[in-house]
Structure 1
């Protein structure tokens, strides 16, 4: 069999996720050979806080362009980095089994969020996490932090930050789950849409590769992220607008949790709706309509100035 070329970022987490996907593919197709090509993206080069960059797909654009041009056969991404408006030539051909979508607190003192001293400096790369932290503990100092997962953890161990909030899935995939002090419940600290999921992208007309990738698809994970992405597309959330959404399915039922907050954290809209796991897109749109009817669009308006202020802290 010919060698299949796989595009990914060069970070430890990106490579670990790619190896996870390839492990499952090798099991399903024992004769297949894969070659990993590492591709640098705008998000790897530009170290400004993510929400200050007015661009979609900063961690995937260059890699997906390589797929589109035929330089690689498929690409492995963190699903939350993949915008919903992919090139029509490309398709998310596969969503393997999703890992935990939860956010977690990391520090080297074993202190949970409620135990952190007033004035403690907490780092996060996400506006969504920042506003939920400030709502839970207004007495903390929350500051943007960039860098790959292990760099951010080192900044806590070195004392630059008292704690940080990260995705549990990323820490687990690179073998660093021992630094986790507290796992936040998804109904209290709502994750980013697609968090914990992997997206494998290939050319829409490459039916052979699509067929190979579909062999490791997890239908439940696909349904959950379909609901979350339908919601975010309708509400038009993005890095500049902190929208939390996570779908949890059990048997034929799916519950979709969503949250949006005002820039100062004083106003928030939280919703939880249960529907059929067989119609995830319908559920996502229904929850989006609920958020919009409760004033989600108005909350979004106040964020432009807040982002500029937040950027000054970075």
Structure 2
């Protein structure tokens, strides 16, 4: 066992909460272990005035942390699972996937109690093409405004930018104690979450066996199976974080069920399907569902996303 560990993290309030949470878990598990945090600024943190979809590329919130890890500057990195690209750099491994809390999205509105209650032409803020497309599929009349920044910044913009509502991840709001701001948790029939949403990803060097073993207790088998299926789905459709794809896996009694949707950005066209099978075949199930949906019209949708901003 190592006596000291350095955790790499982004500097946002939510990222620091997540890193401190993992640090506390490690200290509780290993008496005398010294754990410190090192903040790393990622590309996604630097560019705040451009929609994520327009920036393009994958790993906007992970690449710099991974570079620090490969350089030996940090021992592990704590990420929101939904920020993780489906392919990791050579030399790195997903050592643990924590138990998922709330996977869904939340509507926050000071005046309206639900998406259904929003008036025609209501302005809704979100930085996610996935949320935008699903909201427009359900309510084509809505006006979607891009919403960048950390969680607290986006909450402030609800008022400063005169929005009728914003949509954020439930898990982040609850982790920071802001669950009282939630107006409505969006049902999955309306808005499927991002891959891995609600879980934390612990990444480390594949060759660092000692650290890998130390992190094993943080890995939740059911969440890993669900996320494995979700990531296999996303890998097959070749979508990064900023594409209109929602996918949600759940595990009960050794069976994993995966539901997914592929949409055009404007929400006018959607392909939706689900699959269920043995959790030991999680990756194969996610891949099979993706292939089925691509054949059912998803391939044309994904092909049309090139150049979307």
What TM-score bracket applies, with the shorter chain setting the length?
over 0.9
TM-superposed CA distance for 1:210, in Å, is 0.3
TM-superposed CA distance for 1:68, in Å, is 0.6
1:71 to 53, 73, 90: 73
1:52/1:240 contact within 8 Å kept: no
1:21/1:96 contact within 8 Å kept: no
Alpha-carbon deviations, 1:183-210, whole Å to 9, x = none? Answer: 1122431111111111111110000000
Worse overlay, 77-86 or 7-16: 77-86
* SS of equivalent residue, structure 2 residue 259: strand
CA distance in 2, matches of 1:17, 1:255: 27
The structure-2 alpha-carbon separation of the partners of 1:111 and 1:187, relative to structure 1 and needing over 3 Å to count, comes to closer
Counterpart of 1:13? Answer: 14
Counterpart of 2:281? Answer: 279
CA distance in 2, matches of 1:159, 1:110: 17
* SS of equivalent residue, structure 1 residue 101: coil
CA distance in 1, matches of 2:44, 2:161: 25
CA distance in 2, matches of 1:244, 1:73: 32
1:24 aligned onto 2:25: yes
1:28/1:216 contact within 8 Å kept: no
Counterpart of 1:311? Answer: none
TM-superposed CA distance for 1:111, in Å, is 2.2
Counterpart of 1:225? Answer: 227
2:126/2:168 contact within 8 Å kept: yes
Alignment of 1:163-178 (within 5 A): 163-178=165-180
Alignment of 1:102-121 (within 5 A): 102-121=104-123
1:33 aligned onto 2:34: yes
TM-superposed CA distance for 1:45, in Å, is 0.5
CA distance in 2, matches of 1:38, 1:182: 33
Counterpart of 1:44? Answer: 45
Worse overlay, 263-272 or 6-15: 263-272
* SS of equivalent residue, structure 1 residue 279: helix
Unaligned runs of 5+ residues in structure 2 are none
* SS of equivalent residue, structure 2 residue 82: helix
1:263/1:302 contact within 8 Å kept: no
Count how many residue pairs are aligned between Structure 1 and Structure 2: 307
CA distance in 2, matches of 1:279, 1:267: 30
Counterpart of 2:218? Answer: 216
1:102/1:191 contact within 8 Å kept: yes
CA distance in 2, matches of 1:250, 1:168: 22
Unaligned runs of 5+ residues in structure 1 are 309-314
1:244 aligned onto 2:246: yes
2:128/2:242 contact within 8 Å kept: no
* SS of equivalent residue, structure 2 residue 8: strand
TM-superposed CA distance for 1:295, in Å, is 1.7
Using the size of structure 2 for normalisation, the TM-score is: 0.96
Alpha-carbon deviations, 1:80-135, whole Å to 9, x = none? Answer: 11112211100011111111110110112252111111121100010010011111
* SS of equivalent residue, structure 2 residue 144: strand
TM-superposed CA distance for 1:24, in Å, is 2.1
CA distance in 1, matches of 2:281, 2:154: 38
Worse overlay, 146-155 or 104-113: 104-113
TM-superposed CA distance for 1:159, in Å, is 5.2
Counterpart of 2:159? Answer: 157
2:105/2:186 contact within 8 Å kept: yes
Cα RMSD for the two superposed structures: 1.4
1:228/1:247 contact within 8 Å kept: yes
Counterpart of 1:312? Answer: none
CA distance in 2, matches of 1:301, 1:28: 48
1:244/1:259 contact within 8 Å kept: yes
2:3/2:32 contact within 8 Å kept: no
1:240/1:303 contact within 8 Å kept: no
